[in-house]
Amino acid sequence: MSEGGDSGRPGPSGDHTPRLEQRPLSVLERRLTLADMLDTSTFAELVKSFAELYKLGVKVFDEKGNRLADIKSGNGDFCGYVFSFPEGKRCCTQTVARVKDGPLATTQNARAPAAPQGTKVHGMIAVPCFTGLRYLVLPILWEGDVLGRVVFGPFVPEDLGELPSSLTDLTPGIDLAQAQSYLAKIRRAPESTIVKVLLHFAQLLETLVAAGQKTFLTSQVHIEATLENNRELETQNKRLELMNVQLKDMDRLKSSFLATVSHELRTPLTSIIGYSEMLSEGLVGTLNQEQTDYVRTIMEKGDTLLKLISSILDVTQIEAGKVRLTFEPVNVGDLVSTAVSSIKPQAQKKGLTLDLRLPGRAVEVRADREKLRQVMVNLLSNAVKFTPKGGWVQVLVTEVKFQPELDGEGWQFVVQDSGVGVPTDQLDKIFQSFYQVDNSSTREFGGAGLGLAIVKSYVEGHGGKVRVQSELGQGSRFEVMLPVSPPPPRSVIAPPLSEPPPPPPDRF
């Protein structure tokens, strides 16, 4: 609730409702003024044409006495002449004040207007002027409030003959013939006629106010509703931002947890593998065939586990932004041959044809040898893993030439296979950490879904790009494009799911 007009003292209020925020009072709770609801310039035009049509002076004031329209008609000379007499001036000023600011009641010289029997006059009053002229004043009522008043006149009542003594007594020496000739310029009519014209004007005004109120309220409420919508969106955005921050925190926690756990897993695993090695090499006594087989299995599985843990550690380090690349001269041919020979045993076990094609000329580049080897091994072991028995894997290294994608000199490392392929709709997801095309618990292929995420990060760390083409059931082709000389190493390389790029700096 709100209270007002009580000399600023708080009113008797028991309202302790909590306010979420102080919003400005809606237009629906404001008292509207005439100026809110009327288009003042077109309204003034309308009043002018009305005054000209009926040859009558028309004035419209709002409730505070501000003039919204003021059209004079014919009375200028007469009133000016009367005004030139000192007493005339005083009485004229008095009459004008009575008409403009006096009470809208039949007091202080005002009386009820002469209206035809049964006509509702809606609070109209008639105010006689000491000159014998007359004014009619009508309150502008809206929803029970007085919003202002319309003043018609002065006009000459039809029954006015000689100028009254109330004028002649106050203006000694007045030239009556002159005064009469000025008077003739003012509209002469029966009061009841002017009453009808004024009632008609009031109807017109009511229609204008009704239309104006509708337009004003609806446009203002529309603005308020838009602001309200905006406020709601801002609140929602803030909530989303907060959630985003929380999610990022959780993601960091997850990476840090994985890093710690992987590290803690690797330490005992190294001992398991080390002791198994010593056992299999007979350092603590000769083993029989069965024992040797068992110990080799322990070593093999331990090795697989170690690789898995290493890749988790790699990814967590990439995500934590802790990976640094060290560039040195690398002979690509040698590096690819080493990588290929490391996966040869697995390929042979599955009966795959492994075909390596190197360019005629040696490719000498700058790269991080270890990371590049891992890129190759990851792609190759994926190809071997996802190609069924009897299939083929082809490895191709191109010569150094201009690479449009890199906008500079570079080379390509391509691994193609006749494997199971990747569904088209998942091609852009396979580079995400932990993503696997087959995510079911009964999936056919092992692994943690980290190999390609690592490939992408390392390749991009070299300023290169990875591209994949695949057809389900037909095979896949991974192309790695690398520059001959990578850009100066950034202190860290970006995680596989990179942050959105920072907004461009302000233009102005």
Partner 1 sequence: MQLNHAQRELTVKVVYYGPGLSGKTTNLQMIHARTGSEGRGKLLTVETHDDRTLFFDLLPVFFHTKGGYTVKVKLFTVPGQVIHNATRRVVLQNADAVAFIADSRRSAGQENNQYWANLQDNMRENGLNAAQVPIVIQFNKRDLPDSKTDAELQETRARGKEPVVGAVAIRGEGVLETLYAVLQLAYRKMDEQAGLSRNIGLTEAEFLKLIFARMDLSGTQVGDWLANGEAPR
| DSSP states along 65-119 | --EEEEE--S-HHHHHHHHTSHHHHHHHHHHHHHHHHS-SSS-TT-B-----TT-
Q: Is the CB of 21 or the CB of 428 nearer to partner 1?
A: 21
Can residue 103 be called a binding residue for partner 1 (CB under 8 A)? no
Q: Is the CB of 8 or the CB of 488 nearer to partner 1?
A: 8
Can residue 17 be called a binding residue for partner 1 (CB under 8 A)? yes
Q: Please identify which residue in 11, 76, 351, 423 interacts with partner 1, judged by CB under 8 A.
A: 11
Can residue 237 be called a binding residue for partner 1 (CB under 8 A)? no
Can residue 238 be called a binding residue for partner 1 (CB under 8 A)? no
User: Rounded CA gap, 201 and 209, in Å?
Assistant: 12
Can residue 10 be called a binding residue for partner 1 (CB under 8 A)? no
Q: Please identify which residue in 64, 72, 90, 214 interacts with partner 1, judged by CB under 8 A.
A: 214
Structure tokens at 212: 């104006």
Stretch that binds partner 1, among 14-22, 94-102, 303-311, 444-452 (CB under 8 A): 14-22
Structure tokens at 178: 């002159």
Can residue 213 be called a binding residue for partner 1 (CB under 8 A)? yes
Handedness of CA 64, 67, 72, 78 (dihedral sign): positive
Q: How far is the CB of 45 from partner 1 (least distance, A)?
A: 24
Residue found under tokens 């840090």: 256
Question: Hey, which residues between 140 and 159 contact partner 1 (CB under 8 A)?
Answer: 142-145
Q: Please identify which residue in 162, 228, 334, 355 interacts with partner 1, judged by CB under 8 A.
A: 228
Q: Which 8-state DSSP code applies to residue 355?
A: E
Q: Is the CB of 123 or the CB of 447 nearer to partner 1?
A: 123
Q: How far is the CB of 10 from partner 1 (least distance, A)?
A: 11
Q: Please identify which residue in 14, 268, 500, 501 interacts with partner 1, judged by CB under 8 A.
A: 14
Q: How far is the CB of 6 from partner 1 (least distance, A)?
A: 5
Q: Is the CB of 112 or the CB of 227 nearer to partner 1?
A: 227
User: Rounded CA gap, 446 and 456, in Å?
Assistant: 20
User: Rounded CA gap, 419 and 389, in Å?
Assistant: 9
Residue 363 near residue 400 (C-beta atoms within 8 A): yes
Q: Is the CB of 142 or the CB of 294 nearer to partner 1?
A: 142
Can residue 118 be called a binding residue for partner 1 (CB under 8 A)? no
Q: Which 8-state DSSP code applies to residue 29?
A: G
| DSSP states along 257-287 | HHHHHHHHHHHHHHHHHHHHHHHHTTTTSPP
User: Rounded CA gap, 281 and 158, in Å?
Assistant: 137
Residue 393 near residue 377 (C-beta atoms within 8 A): no
Q: How far is the CB of 199 from partner 1 (least distance, A)?
A: 15
Structure tokens at 274: 């080390």
Q: How far is the CB of 226 from partner 1 (least distance, A)?
A: 7
Q: How far is the CB of 1 from partner 1 (least distance, A)?
A: 4
Quick one: residue 333, left, alpha or beta (phi over 0 = left, psi -120 to 50 = alpha)? alpha
Residue found under tokens 């907060």: 242
The single-letter code of the amino acid at 462 is H
Structure tokens at 268: 């005992």
Can residue 26 be called a binding residue for partner 1 (CB under 8 A)? yes
Residue 318 near residue 496 (C-beta atoms within 8 A): yes
Q: Please identify which residue in 2, 286, 439, 441 interacts with partner 1, judged by CB under 8 A.
A: 2
Q: Is the CB of 30 or the CB of 254 nearer to partner 1?
A: 30
Can residue 239 be called a binding residue for partner 1 (CB under 8 A)? no
Stretch that binds partner 1, among 102-110, 190-198, 216-224, 240-248 (CB under 8 A): 216-224
The single-letter code of the amino acid at 487 is P
Can residue 505 be called a binding residue for partner 1 (CB under 8 A)? no
Can residue 286 be called a binding residue for partner 1 (CB under 8 A)? no
Q: Is the CB of 28 or the CB of 497 nearer to partner 1?
A: 28
Q: How far is the CB of 104 from partner 1 (least distance, A)?
A: 15
How far is residue 490 from each of residues 433, 473, 485, measured CA to CA in Å? 22, 39, 14
Q: What does the binding site for partner 1 look like in residue numbers (CB under 8 A)?
A: 1-6, 11-15, 17-21, 23, 26, 28-29, 142-145, 210, 213-214, 217-218, 221-222, 224-226, 228-229, 232
